[in-house]
Amino acid sequence: MKWNKYTLTTTAEAEDMISSMMMEAGIEGIEIEDKVPLSESDKSQMFVDILPEGPADDGVAKISFYLEPDADNAAMLKAVEEGLEEIRSWGINIGAATIEASQTEDKDWINNWKQYFHQFHVDDILIKPSWEEVQPEDREKLLIQIDPGTAFGTGMHETTQLCIRQIKKYVTEDTVLLDVGTGSGILSIAALKLGARYACGTDLDPCAINAVKENMEVNGIPEDKYTVMLGNIIDDKEVQDAVGYEKYDMVVANILAEVLVPLTPVILAQMKPGALYITSGIIDDKEETVVEAVKKAGLEVLEVNHQGEWVSVTARKN
């Protein structure tokens, strides 16, 4: 089925107000394109520092929405245009406010990302989506199946691979792991598959909670081997209490360098004496910032590893 697509050209200043107006008019989903740089708050919600510098903000925003061909498109467009005029009357700059119509093929928006994720190796570990088959030459490799869905963390990014290699190097059958910013749960799954006793994951994204549970199930990991919880361990006392204190032999955090800096002194309370702290998500020009934060917290730096332009820092709580 073809959908009618309508793209409104407006200003970044007005995009939030127009988006709210469209939803009140009955439009269920919209897409926004602009060049507004991410705020520090936006970045803190993300898992790895992988975004390049974008183009300069030109103040323009494009808001697209989709209507079924048999819907009353004329009535909806009239409601949108009336809403735009009302917003303009409030003195808000809505720019050109032109609406361009086109048609687009029906798509499986939830599953369309699957075309970009294929099986690959991290040394002797095979990481693959559940919809692909294991090749004969890989049948003896350690298998991790990941269906990331809307959560980050397929394992393809260098930062995740750096963490997996460090987990493999240090994990034991007694390891109790804390995975901060767990995403799809890939680092917890890797640790458990490599023999860890238990894993606890935390994340800010509600999508990650179901993704972790589904990926654990696909990998045959029983529910009594892991837990996953929603919340910010840096400043939420309830999350800190739920995670527990001096409980973990290993903490992994594959997140922004800007988040690692405030996380590091806080997470010491969750670590046993002698526990390892494995971090990544660090672009190479922020290596010294993270190393300095780790040392300032009183941790002993054991290794600094690189892959491409990315860095992993492994330290120990003495």
Looking up residue 76, the CATH number of its domain turns out to be: 3.30.70.120
The pLDDT value recorded for residue 46 is 47
From 105, 125, 141, the end of a domain falls on 105
Please give the Cα distance from 59 to 36 (Å, whole number): 7
Look up residue 20 and give its amino acid: S
300, two tokens = 């002993």
Query: Averaged over 76-98, what is the pLDDT?
Result: 94
Is residue 138 one of the residues assigned to a domain? Answer: no
How high does pLDDT run on average in the chain? 88
* 159 has pLDDT over 50: yes
Please give the Cα distance from 114 to 109 (Å, whole number): 10
Q: Are residues 214 and 282 in the same domain?
A: yes
Consult the annotation and say whether 314 binds a ligand. Answer: no
Please give the Cα distance from 193 to 191 (Å, whole number): 6
Q: Are residues 72 and 214 in the same domain?
A: no
* 20 has pLDDT over 90: no
Q: Are residues 198 and 295 in the same domain?
A: yes
Consult the annotation and say whether 205 binds a ligand. Answer: no
Q: Are residues 22 and 79 in the same domain?
A: yes
Please give the Cα distance from 267 to 246 (Å, whole number): 9
Q: Are residues 86 and 205 in the same domain?
A: no
Which of 16-20, 185-189, 195-199, 269-273 is least confident? 16-20
Consult the annotation and say whether 181 binds a ligand. Answer: yes
Question: Which domain, by its residues, includes 296?
Answer: 150-316
Is residue 126 one of the residues assigned to a domain? Answer: no
Please give the Cα distance from 250 to 261 (Å, whole number): 18
Measuring CA to CA, how many Å separate 255 from each of 5, 131, 209, 224?
36, 28, 17, 26
Q: Are residues 97 and 161 in the same domain?
A: no
* Alpha carbons within 13 A on the beta-carbon side of 104: 14
259, two tokens = 């988040």
From 86, 105, 124, the end of a domain falls on 105
* 47 has pLDDT over 60: no
Structural domain total, the chain: 2
**pLDDT band per the 50, 70, 90 thresholds, residue 131:** confident
Q: Are residues 163 and 303 in the same domain?
A: yes
Q: Are residues 101 and 154 in the same domain?
A: no
Contacts of 18 (CB under 8 A, 6+ apart): 8, 10, 63, 83, 84, 87, 94
Consult the annotation and say whether 160 binds a ligand. Answer: yes
Greater pLDDT, 248 or 133: 248
Q: What is the pLDDT of residues 223-250, one digit of tens each?
A: 999 999 999 999 999 999 999 999 999 9
Residue 165 belongs to domain with CATH number: 3.40.50.150
The pLDDT value recorded for residue 53 is 54
